[in-house]
Amino acid sequence: MRRLAAIVAFLTLSTIATSFAADSNCLNVKEVTMRLEGDNATFELNYTLDTFTRFYVTALGCRYLEPELISFLGGYSDVMLIRADIDGAALQVVGAGKYNSGYYLFDSVPFGSKEKPLKDGIARFSVVYPGGRVRTFYNVTATQNVFSQAAKPPASSARQRAGKKQG
């Protein structure tokens, strides 16, 4: 009988946590780091979870957070969750930038979904360029317009092109 009572209590708390999280903002993103990698970008999110969501995720795992995390980058079309835990997550966006004349251009994209854009700013947003340089922005509701130089072609390819021009 005690076992049945424990199961019912757990299911009740899980249901409350799920409905509470669906109606409120269960995920409070404090910091976002965007790492540029060619035309792709990896986003590292540091966040806090509300009490019910933290309990739910601790008991049942982070898969519950995946839709919420992906919708945080809802302005992008190809978002993939790499890892998640109760304090942070990493998501990769394939094709986040566009190639143009030797540079990858990354347009500003609002955080949140198109139906529900983020209203409160992210305290700190950092962009890490391929060379390691970091630019930091404060209190933002969208990614910033940034660009990075495309990797130079290998030396053997450059020599081959030079040989074709001469011949």
Q: Please state whether 112 falls in left (phi above 0), alpha (psi between -120 and 50) or beta.
A: left
* Crossing angle (nearest 10°) for helices 2-23 and 51-60: 130
136-148 CB burial, b ≥16 within 10 A, e <16 = ebeebebbeebeb
Tokens at 51, concatenated:
């009490």
The rounded radius of gyration (Å) of the Cα atoms in the chain is: 21
> pLDDT 10s digit of each residue in the chain, 167 long?
777 656 655 655 565 555 444 445 788 999 999 999 999 999 999 999 998 888 888 888 888 889 999 999 999 989 999 999 999 999 999 999 999 999 999 999 999 988 888 888 999 999 999 999 999 999 999 999 999 998 865 444 444 445 555 54
In angstroms, the CA 103 to CA 74 distance is: 24
| Predicted pLDDT of residue 152 | 66
Give the position of tokens 């757990």: 10
Predicted confidence at residue 93, as pLDDT, reads 97
The pLDDT value recorded for residue 55 is 84
Question: How far is Cα of residue 58 from the mean position of the Cα atoms in its chain?
Answer: 21
pLDDT at 4: 62
- The domain segmentation of the chain, as residue ranges, is 2-151
Say how far apart CA 27 and CA 142 lie, in whole Å: 17
